[in-house]
């Protein structure tokens, strides 16, 4: 993949976003690309006339999506499963890790519920110990996580950046620390993949999952699971016909088989051959690869650094740029979020999220200078009086 880090011009023309809307909320839901919408509509038309569907269609679309996602993370298509959500991938990972009594499992404080709930249950059932890394006062999540890894650490279940404010974790450094003790790494990259580079040959996760509807700019109810080669012989979360060996031959489906399809395909969800959602995901992945994640990351960092620097002059606080993902900005008020902030933002058609004690500003390539100016105006109006 190219190492080009030049910035990308505004791509608003590729989206259906009215001029009076300033949407800084990609971490909540990305808008769909026009090409993704067209691909989804073509899929609806195909389902309208299902006599045009051929058995090969059940396999060609998943394989194309698999290949594109693998390219994004420097993996092979055999390493990728198609799943319905990030939680589906986390459940699959936990099912195949096999926690035991006395194991320690690391998670970060204020973890997303769909990650916390399954690991909390798995820890309880195994008699293991859940260790929560508290939010560091200096915003250095990497240092905080590394300080908790020891000989008893069986698993670290982490994100690339914290979902509330983008606090960054150096996953390669965590992997190295886990290696010293034989620990495993499961990554939820939903809030990073597509907006910043991630190379599995460097991070070496045992499992990695990402939902498609945020920074991958795809549809809801679809995601991708990476399983490292040594984890591709495990137990699927569900049994279905399509993840079995020989499923391509519809005339022999009643010749029941115990064997699975090659590689991580055994972890594919049922009905993975979604003729509406998969074409949308494919269109989005093709566009992301064309833009290049490193160029997306640089462009969005420049945007958020500008917002953070101007907001700092009015007394608003954010983590240092080096300690947060470039596509994320969590802004905090010294005395807490001001009353009426949500109403002011809504009135100005400026869309962000409130997460914890911060507003979460997550732009994308569709944002322009006018959007930034409108956001900054509201922030200045609501800033502390100093």
| CATH number of the domain located at residue range(s) 12-32+292-381 in this protein | 3.90.1150.10
Integer Cα distance of 94 and 112 in angstroms: 16
| CATH number of the domain located at residue range(s) 37-290 in this protein | 3.40.640.10
Could you write out the three-class secondary structure of the chain? Answer: CCCCCCCCCCCHHHECCCCCCEECECCCCCCCEHHHHHHHHHHHHHHHCHHHCCCCHHHHHHHHHHHHHHHHHCCCHHHEEEECCHHHHHHHHHHHHCCCCCCEEEEECCCCHHHHHHHHHHHHHHCCEEEEECCCCCCCHHHHHHCCCCCCEEEEEEECECCCCCEECCHHHHHHHHHCCCCEEEEECCCCECCECCCHHHHCCCEEEEECCCCCCCCCCCEEEEECHHHCCCCCCCCCCCCECCCCCHHHCCCCCCCECCHHHHHCCCCCCCCCHHHHHHHHHHHHHHHCHHHHHHHHHHHHHHHHHHHHCCCCECCCHHHECCCCEEEECCCCCCCCHHHHHHHCCEECEEECCEEEEECCCCCCHHHHHHHHHHHHHCCCCC
Quote the tokens at residue 193: 């993949």
Q: Where are the domains of the chain?
A: 12-32+292-381, 37-290
pLDDT at 340: 87
pLDDT at 1: 45
Residue keyed to tokens 């970060």:
108
Q: For residue 309, which of 331, 342, 335 has the smallest C-alpha distance?
A: 331
Which residues are within 8 A (CB) of 69 and not within 5 positions of it... i.e. 6 or more apart?
75, 80, 224, 285
Q: For residue 275, which of 34, 65, 87, 30 has the smallest C-alpha distance?
A: 65
User: Residue 82 phi/psi, 5° resolution?
Assistant: -100, 120
pLDDT at 3: 58
pLDDT at 385: 66
pTM as predicted? 0.95
pLDDT at 349: 96
Which residues are within 8 A (CB) of 150 and not within 5 positions of it... i.e. 6 or more apart?
104, 181
Rounded (5°) CA angle 316-363-351: 75
Residue keyed to tokens 């088989």:
257
Integer Cα distance of 42 and 279 in angstroms: 9
386 residues of the chain, pLDDT tens digit each: 455 769 999 999 999 999 999 999 999 999 999 999 999 999 999 999 999 998 899 999 999 999 999 999 999 999 999 999 999 999 999 999 999 999 999 999 999 999 999 999 999 999 999 999 999 999 999 999 999 999 999 999 999 999 998 999 999 999 999 999 999 999 999 999 999 999 999 999 999 999 999 999 999 999 999 999 999 999 999 999 899 998 888 888 888 988 899 999 999 999 999 999 999 999 999 999 999 999 999 999 999 999 999 999 999 999 999 999 999 999 999 988 888 888 889 899 999 999 888 899 999 999 999 999 999 999 999 888 65
Q: For residue 31, which of 363, 304, 373, 277 has the smallest C-alpha distance?
A: 363
- CA gyration radius, the chain: 22
pLDDT at 79: 98
Q: For residue 24, which of 361, 299, 372, 365 has the smallest C-alpha distance?
A: 361
pLDDT at 274: 95
């Amino acid at each position: 993949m190219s190492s080009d880090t030049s910035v990308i011009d505004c791509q608003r023309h590729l989206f259906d976003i009215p001029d009076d809307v300033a949407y800084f909320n990609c971490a909540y839901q990305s808008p769909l690309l026009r090409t993704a919408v067209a691909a989804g509509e073509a899929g609806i038309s195909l389902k309208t006339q299902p006599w045009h569907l051929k058995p090969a269609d059940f396999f060609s679309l998943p394989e194309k999506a698999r290949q594109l996602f693998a390219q994004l993370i420097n993996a092979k298509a055999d390493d990728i499963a198609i799943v319905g959500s990030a939680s589906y991938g986390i459940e699959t990972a936990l099912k195949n890790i096999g926690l035991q009594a006395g194991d320690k499992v690391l998670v970060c404080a204020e973890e997303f519920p769909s990650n916390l709930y399954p690991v909390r249950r798995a820890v309880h059932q195994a008699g293991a110990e859940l260790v929560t890394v508290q939010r560091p006062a200096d915003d250095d999540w990497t240092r905080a996580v590394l300080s908790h890894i020891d000989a008893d650490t069986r698993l670290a279940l982490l994100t690339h950046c914290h979902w509330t404010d983008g606090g960054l974790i150096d996953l390669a450094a965590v992997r190295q620390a886990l290696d010293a003790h034989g620990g495993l790494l499961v990554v939820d990259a939903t809030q990073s993949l597509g907006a910043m580079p991630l190379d599995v040959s460097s991070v070496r996760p045992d499992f990695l999952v990402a939902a498609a509807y945020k920074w991958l700019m795809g549809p809801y109810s679809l995601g991708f699971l990476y399983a490292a080669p040594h984890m591709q012989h495990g137990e699927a979360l569900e049994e279905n016909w399509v993840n079995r060996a020989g499923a391509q031959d519809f005339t022999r489906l009643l010749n029941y088989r115990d064997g699975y399809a090659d590689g991580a395909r055994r972890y594919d969800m049922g009905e993975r051959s979604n003729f509406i959602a998969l074409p949308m995901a494919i269109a989005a992945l093709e566009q992301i690869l064309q833009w290049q994640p490193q160029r997306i990351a640089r462009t969005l960092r420049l945007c958020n650094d500008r917002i953070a620097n101007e907001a700092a002059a009015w007394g608003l606080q954010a983590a240092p740029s080096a300690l947060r993902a470039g596509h994320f900005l969590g802004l905090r008020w010294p005395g807490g979020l001001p009353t009426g902030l949500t109403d002011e933002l809504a009135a100005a058609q400026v869309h962000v999220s409130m997460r914890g004690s911060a507003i979460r500003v997550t732009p994308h390539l569709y944002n322009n200078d006018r959007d930034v100016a409108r956001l900054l105006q509201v922030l200045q109006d609501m800033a502390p009086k100093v």
